[in-house]
A and B are shown apart, each in its own frame.
Chain A
Amino acid sequence: MTTATSSILELPIKREGATHWLQSYRAMLRWQLTDMRMLLPITVVVQLLSGVGLVLGFGLLISDMTANVAVYLSTGAVVVTLVIVGVIMGPQLIAQQKAAGSYDFMWSLPVPRSSAAAAWVTLNVFIAVPGMLGALGAAIWRYDVSFDVSLMVVPAIGLTLVTGTLLGYSIGHAVSKPDITQLITQLLVFVIMGLSPISYPIENLPGWLATINEFLPFYPMANVVRDSLTNGIATDVVRSYVVLGMWALASGSIAAAVLRKRK
């Protein structure tokens, strides 16, 4: 038979508040997880392999790997896997939605924008954390390094993931042409892998580039994560937290501004 329901005019007029936010967050996360269900296992495996591969690859690059260098490189690999997910994969997924035309539908759903963004960050955590653990495991197994994990690992990784994901989210939403998003993310890979002192000490860079990196988010991300996983290698950690904290706030505000904007 045809659908039976009470009059549509009796439906809730306007929903808001914490319960509405949480309900929206849960429903959006469920949507994201179901949407990724075919890709999620393979994405997690690829992330895991790239974390492990990065660590093992460094061993081939450097013949006499000392314990110190191994710790530096493997903590760098951890940060790279965390950053790549949010900053590179995130915008590419959004660009795909735009190219496929499904973006308008997602954008017309009656959920608070912040709850959709939070669901997105959560999904990124699911994807990124296995890669991170893989990199750590590979380092322990291959180079016999020991990590000294402190409780600061929670804020360090949390800030890194949230900031990276929200920056990627903003890029994905702000850039209207999917092709341009691809170009930007490729440029970012180059900046993150090559020009950011994530896997090597900042002192190795020329002075001007080191100064720039002090204010970009990637070096502080590496520094605070390294500090939380090791003892005594990272320096100037408080400063890195301040810079990264400001980037976290900025990325949140940028995302909010981008999401509010209507053409």
Chain B
Amino acid sequence: MMTSTYGEHVETQSDWTFRAENVSKTYDGEVFANDGISLEVHPGEVYGLLGPNGAGKTTFVKQVIGLLKPTSGSISLGHFDLIEDPDVARQLCSYLPQAQMPIESFKMHEAVHITGLIRGGTSEDIRARGDALIEALDLTEWRDTRGHKLSGGVRRLVGYMMTTVSPGKVVILDEPTNDVDPRRRRLLWDQIRLLGSQGAAVFLVTHNVLEAEKAVDRLAIIDEGKLIAQGTPSSLKSDDRGRLRLQLMLVPGNGVPDLPPLVQHHSRVGNNLMMVIDEADAAVGISWVRQMTDAGIAEEYALGATTLEDVYIRLTGHTSENSGGA
């Protein structure tokens, strides 16, 4: 076996908790890309990193895998110091970057197989797991197709398989569902959940709050380099208990109308105006949005439970990209 035993490490290495403590990253000593981020992720957990573009999510995971070096703070997995030893970081973590994989010349199964070999798997294991992944994600028809002929979504899934065919103990997925069609998205989420159940700690970097809400065990919201909230989706929503989401579809060309005091906070994506109100104010709210539709300012409205999206908007002041169609 290739396993090199590290003396006493092996017997005692049963704790594979990932820990980041006070991780800060500055460029030119001024701008904080990450500002004192601390978090802990346990084996088997799918952990979401949510935040607007440029919030510092990718910067953070690049420090985990050793592509960037923190200005201060520590990152460890079990008792391995991932900052001191980037070689071990690359072995113990696998990383799906946001950019597409360079697989133009590779047939799908080759890209997966060779990456598995590079990641240190045995040929037999990788072939079995690679074929199982191709089948599970319903990609069999493209198994022998070269990368340059694959659609963006299928290439994204190939990237996922390359990253996880011989996974690390920590698996970092940066926007894994980009360009993927809705049906295969669901298959992909199943695989990500399965990866967790097999013992990997999965980092899921995304700005798609709605998807994350269903897929993650816990999550952190990062904004302007800082970790501003952390917990399970329900615990983060607990502050919004007793509140409702009132949505108004504005007639194109209209600005945000004067809002009544019952609106606690609001945001607009395209022509979609989202407001959070108290349950007690539901009736007043409905009559107000009716006035808006009658006056021709809005086309339709909807009232529903608050989602993680509303928490996200309240905390970051941003909408997540996907909220436009939600």
Which residues on A are within 8 Å of B, measured CB to CB? Answer: 1-5, 7-9, 11-17, 19-20, 23-24, 26-28, 30-31, 34-39, 97, 100-102, 104-112, 262-263
| Contact between chains at A3 and B136 (CB < 8 Å) | yes
Q: Which of B44-63 contact A (CB under 8 A)?
A: 62
Q: Count A-B contacts at CB 8 Å.
A: 147
| Contact between chains at B198 and A7 (CB < 8 Å) | yes
Chain B residue, CB-CB nearest to A104: B97
B4-12, B216-224, B249-257 - interface stretch? B4-12
Of the candidates B1, B69, B120, the one whose C-beta lies within 8 Å of that of A262 is B69
Of the candidates A4, A12, A19, A110, the one whose C-beta lies within 8 Å of that of B118 is A110
How many B residues touch the partner, as a band? 35 or more
Q: Which residues of B contact A39 (CB under 8 A)?
A: 105
Q: Which residues of B contact A262 (CB under 8 A)?
A: 66-69, 86
| Contact between chains at B68 and A263 (CB < 8 Å) | yes
Chain B residue, CB-CB nearest to A7: B199
Main SS at interface, chain A: loop
Bound Cα distance A26, B190 (Å)? 33
Interface pairs A-B: 10 shortest CB-CB: A101-B99, A102-B102, A262-B69, A12-B3, A110-B91, A27-B117, A3-B132, A110-B90, A9-B199, A27-B118
Q: Which residues of A contact B65 (CB under 8 A)?
A: 108
| Contact between chains at A23 and B2 (CB < 8 Å) | yes
Question: Is there a chain A Cβ closer than 8 Å to B43's Cβ?
Answer: yes
Q: Which residues of A contact B95 (CB under 8 A)?
A: 104-105, 108
Question: Is there a chain A Cβ closer than 8 Å to B194's Cβ?
Answer: yes
Bound Cα distance A24, B4 (Å)? 15
Of the candidates A4, A13, A19, A109, the one whose C-beta lies within 8 Å of that of B119 is A109
| Contact between chains at A34 and B132 (CB < 8 Å) | no
Q: A14-B6, A14-B92 are in contact. List 16 more A-B contacts (CB 8 A).
A: A2-B136, A2-B191, A3-B132, A4-B132, A5-B129, A7-B199, A8-B169, A12-B1, A26-B117, A31-B114, A34-B105, A100-B99, A105-B95, A105-B101, A105-B159, A108-B95
**Most-contacted residue by chain B among A3, A34, A39 (CB, 10 A):** A3
Q: Which residues of A contact B199 (CB under 8 A)?
A: 7-9
Bound Cα distance A28, B199 (Å)? 28
Chain B's nearest CB lies how many Å from the CB of A151? 36
Q: Which residues of A contact B129 (CB under 8 A)?
A: 3, 5
Question: Is there a chain A Cβ closer than 8 Å to B135's Cβ?
Answer: yes
| Contact between chains at B3 and A27 (CB < 8 Å) | no
| Contact between chains at A34 and B102 (CB < 8 Å) | no
Contacts A3-B129, A3-B132; A104 near B99 (Cβ below 8 A): yes
| Contact between chains at B97 and A12 (CB < 8 Å) | no
| Contact between chains at B90 and A101 (CB < 8 Å) | no
| Contact between chains at B4 and A3 (CB < 8 Å) | no
Question: Is there a chain A Cβ closer than 8 Å to B303's Cβ?
Answer: no
Q: Which residues of B contact A109 (CB under 8 A)?
A: 90, 115, 118-119
Bound Cα distance A11, B6 (Å)? 14
Q: Which residues of B contact A24 (CB under 8 A)?
A: 118
Contacts A2-B132, A15-B2, A100-B102; A9 near B169 (Cβ below 8 A): yes
| Contact between chains at A5 and B119 (CB < 8 Å) | no
Question: Is there a chain A Cβ closer than 8 Å to B133's Cβ?
Answer: yes
Q: Which residues of A contact B119 (CB under 8 A)?
A: 109-110
**Most-contacted residue by chain B among A12, A35, A110, A262 (CB, 10 A):** A110
| Contact between chains at A108 and B91 (CB < 8 Å) | no
Of the candidates A14, A28, A100, A104, the one whose C-beta lies within 8 Å of that of B4 is A14
Q: Which residues of A contact B2 (CB under 8 A)?
A: 12, 15, 19-20, 23
